[in-house]
Structure 1
Amino acid sequence: MEPARDAMEEGLLLKQRDERLTWRLLVEEMKKLGFVAGPMVAVTLSQYLLQVISVMMVGHLGELALSSTSIAISLSSVTGFSLMSGMSSALETLCGQAYGAQQYKKVGIQTYTAIFSLLTVCIPLAIFWRYTGSLLILIGQSPSISNEAGKFITWLIPALFAYAILQPLVRYFQMQSMLLPMLASSITALCLHIPLCWALVYKTGLGNIGAAMSMGVAMWSNAIFLLFYMMYSPSCAKTRSPISTEVFHGMKQFFSFAIPSAVMICLELWSYEFIILLSGLLPNPELETSVLSICLNTISTLYAIPYGLAAGVSTRVSNELGAGNPRGARVAVNAIIILAVVEATIVSMIVFVDRHIFGYIFTNEKEVVAYVTKIAPLLCVNIIMDSLQGTLSGVARGVGWQHLGAYANLAAFYLVGIPVAALLGFCTSLRGEGLWIGILVGATIQVFLLSVVTFCTNYEKQATKAKERLLEEECSTEDIVM
């Protein structure tokens, strides 16, 4: 009996020690994730607020300026900025795993490859933007609004090229956990934009065009600062590499990750924009569109938090897989899920408690505020889903299965979410509330599918694949040099 009791006690002690070790690892990982996520939230908000402040400035010029600028910024986000952001997310796999494998020169080379690739993509996008006004007229939009929107988005073309340089640089610093340069440049650009936008909009007679010019100046200043920091700072010495033909040989691999990355992000964003368009076909479209636009602006702003968490987990997962440490990647995934649940609970509770008043941030119309209050519980559930899917998407980018994320978003929103939204919005008395329920159904399915993929991932196999791919790249580079 004595040996059996001793064995049981020893087993219990070992179990308790393993549990303490597990929690210690999780706490340490949460600290590492927070170190990346916190600054990335500020960076994301600073970049997003460039658009928000532009609309706020232009809004005081009149209804025509406000409506045309809102349409132009929405179109520029859907057809340009979100595409650039999505494609540059490929570096969260490529640069992150290369950095984890200590192949530091590849980080710089892949960043240059991404910049050249995105600048190439910008050329047809710029041509499309140039004729946006005419295209809006062709699809039946008001000629006056279309012309003004066309002017705004044409003057926004320089900002598109700046964004194509900026986003790869953001990933370059993010994957190395070098966050201070990004934070300083993004906040400085925002602080520059506010007075410059005010001066160009109100003091020069440029009107809404001044807001577009100011956005371009802010984005270019941000991109140039980070580019010079990358080229000349001693802290970037080990990942800095000269521009060579190797940059162009990597474009095929970049696009193989960039296209599904862009599809994964854009499919979700476009689904929400499509719901706003559908709301304009409902009875009393002014009310329905206003309420759903408020809901969309709210979750878009709050999404900066899970986006920061996603940046943290994609950095940690890609670094650990590149270093051949699948256990570290798994710990990072478990830690981020705990943080995401806590964050989603806190933020959704705050919105629910303030549901009677937060509508006044956007409007003084009591009818609109009352409708926002009614739909707020659905919005809170959506915030929870957004937090979970945002962090799970970060895991997807870190591992490198963006294509699975794209399939999940396609199935969730376009096979289920939007059809359910149209059915509830137009075939029941729910109207705008029904549209939002439909998109919430899509978001719930998206979280379920991403969760299945995340928890079924074999991280040992992914670490091996990362190592094999990096070795193949190294061999092909040597062949090119020889």
Structure 2
Amino acid sequence: MEASKDEMSQPLLEAETVPPLPPQSTEDKYYQYSAQLESVLSDTDLPWARRLSRASWIELKLLFRLAAPAAAVYLINYVMSMFTQIFSGHLGNLELAAASLGNNGIQTFAYVDKILYSEVQAELKPLPTTSSIMALAGAKVVAFLRFQEKGVRKWKMIIFCKSCHTQPSLSAGKFFSQRMGTESHGETHKFPLGMGSAVETLCGQAYGAHKYEMLGIYLQRSTILLTLTGILVTFIYIFCKPILILLGETERIASAAALFTYGLIPQIFAYALNFPISKFLQSQSIVAPSAYISTATIGFHLLLSWLVIYKLGFGLLGAALVLSLSWWVIVIGQFIYIVKSERCKETWTGFSMQAFHGLWGFFKLSAASAVMLCLEAWYFQVLVLLAGLLPDPEIALDSLAICIQILGWVFMISVGFNAAASVRVGNELGAGHPKAAAFSVIMVTSMSAVIALICAIAVLALRHVISYVFTEGEVVANAVSEMCPLLAVTLVLNGIQPVLSGVAVGCGWQAFVAYVNVGCYYVVGIPLGALLGIHFNLGAKGIWSGMIGGTLMQTIILLWVTYRTDWNKEVETALKRLNKWDDIKEPLLKD
């Protein structure tokens, strides 16, 4: 827009020559706030401090109406899956192990092409015990644990699962059949989530540009793509039994896990609809209805699980089918809201054959995000695998598991800000508000970082007692206490990095972030963790330090790129993307 400007950066509060677009409707309060924000930031007649205070107040109102309900939805959906695992655990040890494998192990293999499994003969050494790893209550990680069988020491793949709560000092064999786990949506869904990322970018930008009808087209297009992806994932579920046997599981456990996994197949396709529907609503700043629907579904899920599992005696298969049904209840509830709500009457105009056009462009934008998410998920898996190679893997894995659990719960907050960042940036770019987009990035990143800093301080203050929530073992508790300073640093970084990833999705930078993840995680983080943890004998602290190194580099790169972004050019790019797809694939929206 202004040729004299540095093409790589834009002063935040400099006057804008293009006046903000007026809102289309007095009822559209969100757009009114958005246009007002751009106007305030462009008003050079106001003192700088007054502009900043007014803009901050407007942005905070827009931000928290998105972030808080979004975080609540993620948390509620996590708890629903956790309850399924708890119900399964009360059926018996076999059912507990089967549900854990089905809900965690198979969902991990759904995006991992190969998992190394080897049996290594070696001299006999004392068998390590698994103290309350136990406590895992939330860390779903994969590790190799030494165990002895008939005089041979082997490496066995152990999948440590969420909400695990077994007794201390279980032998490796007992632990494997007694651990409890849950996964909110499972690692299976990392790839489908990424494949649906285009709807997050395009719906946000289209809504900001007032191309309301296109939101419904993008919703249907993303659903088609995710459904096709779900069909591919289904084959992994179908053949889960031979996969588990190949990885060393007994016929008995593999059969029970397969039974549970078969009941999760409908969940795949529920998720294929839920993700684009959620993003369709979020892009319009409609988040509270999803939270209400999820909350109501929890009660339905608990009652039906108790009835089907215990009273009707359907056991594992019933538990899995109820979980799948609960997800379908959420999907149907949200879709009914879309069809019936006055707030969606302009964005949902019915089913259209035009949804089948432009799928390749949708795929290219989404595939990069799928890679981005998978690389992040695999990063933690590989680091925990490294912990299994340490001289004392038991304590290392226990302490890592508890730290990852704490990190996971705090991460729920960042997920809410991630969603808010994606929506806010996408909306402002689509609306042609470069200053509002830039200011939104600053505010959402700052707020998330401040909250993460508070959580980090709390962890440091409670470092000597926090681990006893997860374990009764003093050795593990001391190890966690020593890890807490590193955990605090990670909490702060995780208050920033997910938000910047949300900004990237809002701008459509998924491919760039995928390359950044490869370099930072796999060229820096993992080698550094292996070097510090294994070569320099720093143990779990060394591995975690390597993770911090990779995440820190990633955060610095994303911060720098975001700081140097020309938001005027991003507005032009967003409008070109929307106009290209509108002009070629769909008729222009009527006034």
Q: Which stretch has the larger CA shift, 53-62 or 421-430?
A: 53-62
The aligned counterpart of 2:582 is 474
Cα gap change, 1:246 to 1:386, in 2 (>3 Å): same
| Residue matched to 1:186 | 294
Structure 1 spans left out of the alignment, 5+ residues: 1-13
Structure 2 vs 1, CA of residues 67 and 187 (structure 1 numbering), >3 Å: closer, same or farther? same
From the superposition, tell whether residues 465 and 72 of structure 1 become closer, same or farther in structure 2 (CA, over 3 Å): same
Is it true that 1:383 corresponds to 2:491 in the alignment?
yes
Which amino acid is 2:49 matched to?
E
When residues 44 and 380 of structure 1 are mapped into structure 2, their CA distance, relative to the original with a 3 A threshold, is same
| Distance in 1 (alpha carbons) for counterparts of 2:392 and 2:311 | 37
Is the 2:195–2:225 Cα contact (8 Å) retained in structure 1?
no
Amino acid at match of 2:104: S
The one-letter code matched in structure 2 to 1:33 is: L
Question: How many Å separate the matches in 1 of 2:299 and 2:552?
Answer: 37
Residue aligned with 1:360, SS: helix
Match of 1:48 among 75, 78, 93: 78
Specify the code of the residue in structure 1 equivalent to 2:553.
I
* Equivalent-residue separation in structure 2 for 1:70 and 1:282 (angstroms): 25
* 342-351 or 50-59: bigger deviation: 50-59
* 1:324 partnered with 2:432: yes
Identify the residue that residue 567 of structure 2 maps to in structure 1.
459
Q: 1:351 to 1:210 in 2, by over 3 A?
A: farther
Shift of 1:343: 0.8
Matches within 5 A, 1:208-247: 208-247=316-355
Greater percentage in helix: 1
For 1:429, what is the secondary structure of its paired residue?
Answer: coil
Moved more, 457-466 or 87-96: 87-96
1:89-168 equivalence runs, <5 A: 89-168=197-276
Q: Tell me by how many angstroms 1:204 deviates.
A: 4.3
How many angstroms does 1:61 deviate by? 4.5
Aligned twin of 1:69: 99
Contact 1:287 1:368 in 2 (8 A): yes
Q: What amino acid maps onto 1:239 in structure 2? A: T
Once residues 250 and 179 of structure 1 are traced to their aligned partners in structure 2, the CA distance between those partners, rounded to angstroms, is 28
Q: Distance in 2 between matches of 1:346 and 1:58?
A: 36
State the shift of 1:70 in Å.
3.1
CA contact (8 A) 2:196 2:225 kept: no
Poorly superposed stretches of 4+, deviation over 6 Å: none
Distance 1:281 1:142 in 2: 24
Asked if the contact 1:134/1:150 (under 8 Å) is kept, the reply is no
Partner of 2:406: 298
RMSD: 2.3
Amino acid at match of 1:288: A
Distance 1:72 1:278 in 2: 24
Give 2:528's aligned residue.
Answer: 420
Mapped partners of 2:586, 2:557: distance in 1? 40
| Contact 1:110-1:250 at 8 Å conserved across structures | no
Shift of residue 26 of structure 1? 2.2
Contact 1:134/1:147 (<8 A) preserved? no
Cα–Cα, structure 1 residues 221 and 156, in superposed 2: closer, same or farther, change >3 Å? same
Bigger shift: residues 292-301 or 90-99: 292-301
Q: Match for residue 359 of structure 2? A: 251
Give, in angstroms, the shift of residue 284 of structure 1. 4.1
Residue 249 (structure 1) shift: 0.4
TM-score, normalised to structure 1, is: 0.91
Query: Over residues 357-388 of structure 1, what are the superposed CA-to-partner deviations in whole Å (9 max), with x where a residue is unaligned?
Result: 33233333333333222212211111111111
SS in 1 for 2:320: helix
Separation in 2, partners of 1:385, 1:62: 40
* Pair 162,478 (structure 1): closer, same or farther in 2 beyond 3 Å: closer
For the residue of structure 2 that corresponds to 1:303, the secondary structure is: helix
Cα pair 1:129 1:154 within 8 Å, conserved: yes
**More deviation, 442-451/69-78:** 69-78
2:524 maps to a residue whose letter is V
Distance 1:480 1:331 in 2: 31
Q: 1:30 deviation in Å?
A: 1.9
Q: Give the whole-Å Cα distance in 2 for the aligned partners of 1:158 and 1:203.
A: 23
1:35 equivalent in alignment to 2:143: no
One-letter amino acid of the structure 2 residue matched with residue 107 of structure 1:
L
TM-score w.r.t. the length of structure 2 is 0.75
SS at match of 1:171: helix
Q: What is the distance in 1 between the residues matched to 2:485 and 2:364?
A: 40
* Maintained 8 Å contact 1:276/1:292: yes
**Structure-1 residue corresponding to 2:554:** 446
Q: 1:276 to 1:121 in 2, by over 3 A?
A: same
Kindly indicate whether the alpha-carbon contact (under 8 Å) linking 1:86 and 1:263 is maintained by their aligned counterparts in 2: yes
CA distance in 2, matches of 1:319, 1:344: 25
CA drift of 1:58 comes to 3.2
> Mean alpha-carbon deviation: is it higher for 64-73 or for 341-350?
64-73
Aligned to 1:57: 87
Q: Are 2:55 and 1:25 aligned?
A: yes
> What is the aligned counterpart of 1:342 among 425, 450, 458?
450
User: Which deviates more, 84-93 or 390-399?
Assistant: 84-93
Q: Which runs of 5+ in 2 are unaligned?
A: 1-43, 111-187
Pair 1:461–1:170, CA change in 2 (3 A): same
- C-alpha deviation, 1:480, in angstroms: 11
Return the alpha-carbon distance in structure 1 between the equivalents of residues 71 and 342 of structure 2. Answer: 26
Structure 2 residue identity aligned to 1:319 = N
- 1:345-424 matches, cutoff 5 A: 345-424=453-532
Identity of aligned residues (%): 35
Q: Which moved more, 1:185-194 or 1:330-339?
A: 185-194
Cα distance 1:60–1:425, how it changes in 2: closer, same or farther (>3 A)?
farther
Contact 2:262/2:317 (<8 A) preserved? no
Separation of aligned partners in 1, 2:465 and 2:261 = 34
Tell me the SS of whatever aligns to 1:461.
Answer: helix
Q: CA deviation at 1:202?
A: 4.2
1:326, CA displacement in angstroms?
A: 0.6
Cα distance per residue 1:81-116 (max 9 Å; x no partner): 222222223222100000000000000110011111
Check conservation: 1:86, 1:262, Cα contact below 8 A: yes
Is this contact kept in 1: 2:354–2:586, CA < 8 A? no
> What is the alpha-carbon distance in structure 1 between the residues aligned to residue 212 and residue 464 of structure 2?
52
Deviation string 1:209-245 (CA, Å, 9 cap, x unpaired) is: 4432222121110011111211222221010122222
Counterpart for residue 8 of structure 1: none
| 1:213–1:245 CA distance, 2 compared to 1 (3 A) | same
The 1:120–1:57 alpha-carbon spacing in structure 2 relative to 1, beyond 3 Å, is same
Q: Which residue in the other structure is 1:173 paired with? A: 281
Quick one: distance in 1 between partners of 2:96 and 2:545? 28
Letter of the 1:274 partner, please give it. V
Q: Which moved more, 1:389-398 or 1:411-420?
A: 411-420
Which SS does the other structure have where 1:277 is aligned? helix
Report the AA paired with residue 335 of structure 2.
Answer: L
